[in-house]
Structure formats: structure tokens, C-alpha cells
Amino acid sequence: MRRPSVLLTSVFGPFGLDDAYGRKENVLELFHNQVTREQGLFSLRFNHQSFGLYLMAENIEAPTTVLDFPSQARFIRELRKGYDYVGISFIVPNFAKAQRMAALVREHAPKSQIILGGHGTRIPRVETLIEHDHICRGEGVFWLRRLLGEDLDRPVVHPVIASSFNKRMLGIPLAVDAAVLLPGVGCPNQCRFCATSHFFDKRYTPYFDTGRALFDICRKVEDQTGHTDFFVMDENFLKRPERARELLALMEEHDKTYRFGLFSSAETIRDVGVDFLARLGVYFLWIGVESKVEVFEKNLGVDLGAMIRELKGNGISVLASGILFLEHHDLATIWEDIEYVSSLGADFVQFMQLGPLPGTQLYREYDRKGMLRKDLPYEEWHGQHRIWFTHPNFTPAQTENLIRRAFQYEYDTNGPSLLRMFETTLLGLRALADTRDPYLLHRRRNMEREARHVRPALSVILRHAHNERSRDLAREVIRAYDETLGEPGLKQRLLTVVAGAAALREAMRVAVGANVYQPKTFRTRYRWGAKQRASEQVSGRGPKRPAIEMDWGQRAARVAPTND
């Protein structure tokens, strides 16, 4: 019996532009959009693939194509190949793009059945607004298996995907250096504003519920790609500490010094301890600080400043996230929160506007009170421009101005996030200076390599520092690097010259406003022939990886599957 064919696609580009389908403030770069957005040359630049599409494609039996970041023309060309199902994944600000893509399916592939998925499916009455045949809300792997009549009890297979691409630092293109790890979806903390928790029905669904399963995935990824760094896409990975402890035990048993970037709430960090995180190899933590004035349950009884200092002292970079335009905020209290989050000493700071997104408790409350600005198109509902609800103390124009000023204040006060991150690396190296633990000796050597790798950027940061505070900080960090690593050698001085040239070019580009990078298109095929099958094992080498094509405008390059 012929299996149905499936196309899974993200929305089309271009991104970060004012047009009929999007807004310039909604940039398709996580950090440049909402973390380092006002740091100009020093902003971290990278894109992420649509991880969920690859996870679903890997875990069904039907021949499947994933099309990530296509143009409209590229999407139409793919539609004309005649798929049985076309799945469109979208978030709320991309509503108009999903609506347009569904119309294109009806026009160019009328026999295809349309599946809508992603956070945008929580938009009220979306069933009447976008052409479709099926809607997937929440967890997608088992939903899609059920739709296709496939075995629901088959184990979930983890895809091998880079955590980011199109990486640039100071204008220097960087190689992919990490993979993504997807242990599960959802979060039981149930914060009333959290779209992720509500989208997955306020519970956690683990795909890999043991440390052994995660360790086997890490080994598979290392075997196929050489990557030993992982960004963990899990809302609160440490909520299951026994899984993390089993993972560390296996890493120590097999002498594997994997490293992990995590999202975590403060109470889970307190429960497992910073020493454990350092030994596990955590190099980055994203923490929801939210507010000083309104203390959330997950932060009760936690000295966040002390915790962040301890984390940084062990070489763990921290991103502290704050929420602006909470109900209690007026001009005085909002600045109290901005100054508080900025004072915690984190390497990175995110400010997001309070956003009542469809499906959340907050949305239902504001809708009931008549506070939502339903005259604003969904393209405006992204949290980095103007709020889309009525606030008693702020006009829409004030919210736009205040979020920009918040980022500028944090940057002016604390200097470039890159500089703070490099300092944290050095702090971690110094913390391990006297260790005799064989396992931690591996960590120290890895940290020293990283410190030497980033060192040429320090002089560039000093040269382009935007204020005296940043220049003083750069001098302090350079002095600390020299004391710890010795004077830079000839190779590092030459690399400093190269980095300086790249940074000068990028600074000129930023100065004229040409500061949007568009992602390339990825086309990945699964199970279209005996030589193009997805992996079927969680560990070990397994079959060949899917065939991948990447388009750059008019050019296309085929990447041969690895692990032949």
C-alpha cells in the first residue's frame, strides 16, 4: 500500500521587513530580536531552524519533505510536486503568512490536505480564517502519527540538527559548533502569560525520559557530526533532576565532557546546585527573572543576584529575562524593574513586553475585561514594538519608546554582552585552576581552548566600544586574560587584525541600517528512497541521514549525507 506523502513547512520569507505579511521589528534572530537588539556591531547574530518540523519528519513513516524558510516562489515549486498533506507551522505574528500559504495550496495543489500547526493555531476562530483540513494543537509527533494511521507506540527518534546557523560575531562568520537536544515539550509551571505552557496544556511531555536516552543521543550526534555542545530546547530541563543526574553519571563513566545550554527556573537551579551544573558542563542558562516588584512563585526565596554571581564564577553565562508593562507598572515601577534586571550582573538581558497571546490564561483574562486591541493586526503581536492591549499607565507610543530605552540603558550600563560572556569564560577557567579531579581537568582544558579562541575579539571590542564604561570593562577583561593566559602570541595578534577588518566592515554595514540577515532555505527529504532514509536508532550509527539541500537565492548546494 502506498504511504501518503507529506510536506512540512515553515512560513515564507523575507523576514524582519515591513510588508503585507510582517513587521521590521519581528526579526528572525532570537538574540538580535530580543536580547542584544540595541548593541549594534556587538549583537550576536544567528538563526535557528524549525526544530519541531524535523522532529516530526523523523518520527513518521511516510515519505516527507521539510521546507524551512522558503520564498513564496520556492514554496509554490514544492507544492506542484503533489503532496498528499501539506503542514504549515506558524506563530501568531505570522498569521498572514500562514493564511497566504494555505491559499497557495488550494490554488497550486488542490488535492493536498492542509494541516495547520504551531502556536498560531490558538488564534480564536482560526478555523474560519485560514483554509485547512486539519489542525494540530499541542504535541505534534503522536498527533501526526495518529492522522496518518501509523503505530503510536514506536519509540521517538531524535533528529540530528545544528542548534543554529548563519552565525556571526563582530561580522565574522562562524562555523556550526553545537547541536540541538529536544528532551520534551511543555512546562508544568503554568505561568499565566506563558504561551508554551498553555499550548502544551500546562504539562510536560517527555520524548526522552531518562539520562541514558539523552546520553545515547549525545553520542549519536557526536559520532555523526563531531559536536559535543548541545542547546537543550526544553522549557525547564532541570525539573527532572534525576534525568540530569543519570546523564552526568554516564558522562563521567564514559569520560565524555559534553556541554549544555539550558532554560531553567531559579528554584530548579537552587535545588540541583551550581556545583552540579558546572560538573554537568552547563555553559549557558536562561533564567526568567520577570520582575522585582511582582515576585513569581518560581523565584520565591531566591537571591537572584547571588545565584547569577555564583553561576558566572563557575563559567556559566546567564541570560536574565524581564517582563515590561505588567499590570502594576507605572513609569516609576517599570524603571525599578529595568534597573533591577540590569543590576543582576547577567551576561545577557532580555526585555519582553507582557503579551497576552491566544490560548493563555492572560489572554482569556484580558479578553473578558475588554482590554485587547483587536484592531491591531496579528503581525504586531510579537512583544518588541507596541503592546496590543490597553494599559492604564502607558500609551502604545510610550511602550515602543520604553522597551528601546530599556535595552539601551542595560547596554550603556553593563557594556557589550560579548564582553561579559568572555569574562565569564575566564572566571570559569580560573575556578578550575587548582583542580585535581581528572574529569574536571578535561573541563578546564576545554575552557582554556575556548578562552584562547575568543581572545582576538577583545581588542576589537575595545576599539569599537561605544562609551567609556565599555572601554574600561574591555581593558579590565584584557588585563585579566593576559594575567591568566600570558601575552598573546603571533597567531593571536594576526587573528586580531583579521577580526578587526571584519568588524570594521560590519560596523559600516550597521551604521547605514543594512542590518537584516535573511536565512537560507533548507529542503530536507526523508524516506524518498532506499538511500535517503531517516535514522532509526537512538544510539549507534544507524542508516544514512536524510538528504539536504540548501538554497542561497539563485544558487543551490547539495550536501551529501554523512555517516556513509
Query: What local confidence, expressed as pLDDT, does residue 553 receive?
Result: 31
- Kindly state whether residue 498 falls inside one of the protein's structural domains: no
> What single string gives the DSSP state of each residue in 427-492?
HHHHHTTT---HHHHHHHHHHHHHHHHHTHHHHHHHHH-SSHHHHHHHHHHHHHHHHHH-S--HHH
More confident residue, 558 or 74: 74
Instruction: Please check whether residue 169 lies inside any domain of the structure.
Output: no
Q: What percent of the chain has pLDDT over 90?
A: 85
- Do 410 and 273 fall within a single domain? yes
Give the whole-angstrom CA distance, residue 328 versus residue 335.
Answer: 12
**Mean pLDDT across 475-485:** 96
pLDDT band at 541 (very low <50, low <70, confident <90, very high): very low
Residues 46-57: pLDDT tens digits? 999 999 999 999
Whole-number pLDDT of residue 548: 53
**pLDDT tens-digit map of 426-471:** 999 999 999 999 999 999 999 999 999 999 999 999 999 999 999 9
Are 200 and 309 contained in the same domain?
A: yes
**Confidence (pLDDT) at 563:** 30
Q: What is the per-residue pLDDT for 49?
A: 96
Question: Is the model's pLDDT at 530 over the cut of 60?
Answer: no
The total of structural domains in the chain comes to: 3
Q: Is residue 491, in this structure, part of any structural domain at all?
A: no
- What DSSP line would sit under 42-105, residue for residue? G--EEE---HHHHHHHHT-SS-EEEEES--HHHHHHHHTT--SEEEEE--GGGHHHHHHHHHHH
pLDDT surpassing 80 at residue 552: no
- Is residue 249 included in any domain, yes or no? yes
pLDDT above 50 (res 559)? no
Given pLDDT bands bounded at 50, 70 and 90, which one contains residue 294? confident
Residue 321 domain-assigned?
Answer: yes
Residue 235 sits in the same domain as residue 377: yes
Interval 108-125 mean pLDDT = 97
100 domain-assigned: yes
Residue 128 maps to a domain:
yes
Closest CA to 321 of 290, 292, 364, 294: 290
CATH code for the domain in which residue 364 is found:
3.80.30.20
The helix or strand, by DSSP H or E, that contains position 168, with its residue range, turns out to be strand 165-169
Are 111 and 185 within one domain?
no
Query: Do 106 and 220 fall into the same domain?
Result: no
Summarize the confidence of residues 119-134 as an average pLDDT: 97
State the pLDDT at residue 512.
86
Q: How far apart are CA 91 and CA 97, in angstroms?
A: 10
Check whether residue 329 and residue 396 sit in a common domain.
yes
Average pLDDT over residues 351-378: 96
**476 and 331 in one domain?**
no
* Percentage above 70 pLDDT, the chain: 94
Same domain? For 27 and 150 the reply is: yes
Q: How crowded is residue 459: how many other Cβ atoms within 10 Å of its Cβ?
A: 19
- Pick the more confident residue, 293 or 243: 243
Nearest to 53 by CA among 125, 129, 128, 136: 136
Residue 391 lies in a domain: yes
pLDDT at residue 177 in the model: 85
For residues 226 and 283, state if they share a domain: yes
Q: Closest Cα to residue 320, out of 264, 281, 239, 241?
A: 264
Phi, psi of 85 (to 5 degrees): -130, 140
Mean pLDDT within 79-93 = 98
Residue 346's pLDDT is 98
Q: Which of 360, 381, 414 is the endpoint of a domain?
A: 414
Q: What is the mean pLDDT of the chain?
A: 91
Looking at residue 549, what is its pLDDT? Answer: 52
Mean pLDDT of the region 474-481? 97
pLDDT band at 547 (very low <50, low <70, confident <90, very high): low
Check whether 60 has a pLDDT greater than 60: yes
Residue type, 95: F
Contact between 538 and 213 (Cβ < 8 Å): yes
Helix or strand (DSSP H, E) at 272: helix 266-272
pLDDT above 70 for 543: no
**Can you give the CATH number for the domain in which 140 is found?**
3.40.50
What is the residue range of 152's domain? Answer: 6-33+49-157+520-559
Report the pLDDT value the prediction gives residue 187, as an integer from 0 to 100: 87
User: Which residues are CB-neighbours of 493 under 8 A, at least 6 positions away?
Assistant: 456
The answer on 432 and 394 residing in a single domain is no
Q: Is the pLDDT of residue 409 over 80?
A: yes
239 shares a domain with 108: no
- Is the omega angle on the peptide bond into residue 14 within 30 degrees of 0, that is, cis? yes
User: Where is the domain boundary, 355, 386, 414?
Assistant: 414
Helix (H) or strand (E) holding 197: helix 195-199
* Tens digit of each residue's pLDDT (9 = 90 or more) over 105-116: 999 999 999 999
The domain boundary, picked from 363, 388, 414, lies at 414
User: Does 217 lie in the same domain as 99?
Assistant: no
